[in-house]
């Protein structure tokens, strides 16, 4: 990670690493079920989604759900309900599968028309004493398709180090003050 903000909160500036902001921005694009994993409706919806494909069964296995076929059929028929631990595992499996299914669509949307333009909002300096504030403005930058592919792959793998490296490569396009954007308050885009 770039270095000018090594002590980000020293003068009360608030923000997060650019790689974290990039990952958070991608994560916000993933939508899905709003119903609780503890409600009957939420359980039924998660089970339908997970049992509709082999990838769903693999997601359940990754989440640590190991029940007999008979139990799974009973859950699907709503004859029995999963215990609290399995409900949480179903939720984990659902979001794991949802993220994997959405990744390809995210890449397509973010790489269309040669890339997507992002808006980088600098760290929040409202609590920083005037003499310690930096003159930072919101910056706009076009991100090339290959960068988006790598960013989505890193996000999907929960690889924070890769997102940091991608961010550091990305902000060098800002010119000589790139290091001032190693930490930001947010990153946004429309895709």
What does the pLDDT look like over 136-185, one tens digit per residue?
888 888 899 999 999 999 999 999 999 999 999 998 888 777 778 888 99
Whether residue 5 is predicted with pLDDT greater than 70 in this model: the reply is no
Which range marks the domain in which residue 85 is found? 40-103
Residues 115 and 68 in one domain: no
Residues 87 and 120 in one domain: no
Whether residue 2 is predicted with pLDDT greater than 50 in this model: the reply is no
Residues 114 and 74 in one domain: no
**Cα–Cα distance between 146 and 111 in angstroms, integer?**
8
Radius of gyration of the chain (CA): 21
Residues 22 and 115 in one domain: yes
The label of the residue with tokens 């709503």 reads 78
Token code pair at residue 157: 């793998």
Digit-coded pLDDT (tens) for 55-81: 999 999 999 999 999 999 999 999 999
Whether residue 1 is predicted with pLDDT greater than 50 in this model: the reply is no
Please provide the size of the chain in residues.
191
Residues 87 and 153 in one domain: no
**116 within some domain:** yes
Residues 25 and 113 in one domain: yes
- The percent of residues in the chain predicted with pLDDT above 90, rounded, is 66
Task: Look up residue 128 and give its DSSP letter.
Answer: S
- Mean pLDDT check: name the lowest of 28-42, 87-101, 110-124, 155-169: 110-124
**Cα–Cα distance between 12 and 114 in angstroms, integer?**
38
Q: How confident is the model at residue 8 (pLDDT cuts 50, 70, 90)?
A: low
The better pLDDT of the pair 43, 141 is held by 43
pLDDT at residue 135, as a whole number: 80
**170 within some domain:** yes
- The answer to whether 124 and 13 have CB atoms below 8 angstroms apart is yes
Q: Which of 10-14, 44-48, 140-144, 176-180 has the highest mean pLDDT?
A: 44-48
Q: Answer with the one of 68, 87, 103 that is the final residue of a domain.
A: 103
**185 within some domain:** yes
- C-alpha closest to that of 47 among 80, 17, 24, 19: 80
- Give the angle 88-94-97 at the CA atoms, nearest 5°: 140
Distance of CA 64 to the CA centre of its chain: 22
**Counted domains in the chain:** 2
pLDDT at residue 125, as a whole number: 82
pTM of the model as a whole:
0.82
Task: Look up residue 178 and give its DSSP letter.
Answer: G
Token code pair at residue 119: 């808006």
The label of the residue with tokens 């500036």 reads 13
**141 within some domain:** yes
- The answer to whether 114 and 145 have CB atoms below 8 angstroms apart is yes
**Cα–Cα distance between 68 and 65 in angstroms, integer?**
10
Q: How confident is the model at residue 191 (pLDDT cuts 50, 70, 90)?
A: low
Token code pair at residue 148: 């988006």
């Amino acid at each position: 990670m770039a270095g000018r903000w090594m002590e980000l909160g020293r003068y009360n500036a608030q923000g997060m690493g650019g790689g974290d902001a990039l990952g958070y921005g991608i994560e916000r694009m993933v939508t899905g079920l709003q119903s609780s994993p503890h409600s009957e409706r939420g359980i039924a919806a998660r089970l339908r989604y997970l049992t509709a494909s082999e990838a769903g069964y693999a997601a359940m296995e990754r989440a640590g759900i190991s029940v007999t076929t008979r139990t799974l059929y009973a859950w699907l028929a709503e004859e029995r309900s999963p215990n609290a631990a399995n409900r949480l595992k179903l939720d984990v499996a659902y979001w794991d599968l949802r993220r994997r299914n959405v990744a390809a669509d995210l890449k397509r949307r973010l790489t269309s028309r040669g890339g997507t333009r992002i808006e980088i909002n600098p760290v929040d300096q409202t609590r920083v004493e005037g003499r310690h504030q930096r003159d930072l403005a919101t910056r706009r930058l076009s991100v090339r398709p290959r960068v988006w592919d790598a960013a989505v792959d890193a996000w999907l793998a929960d690889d924070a180090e890769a997102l940091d490296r991608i961010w550091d490569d990305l902000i060098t396009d800002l010119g000589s003050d790139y290091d001032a954007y190693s930490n930001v308050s947010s990153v946004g885009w429309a895709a």
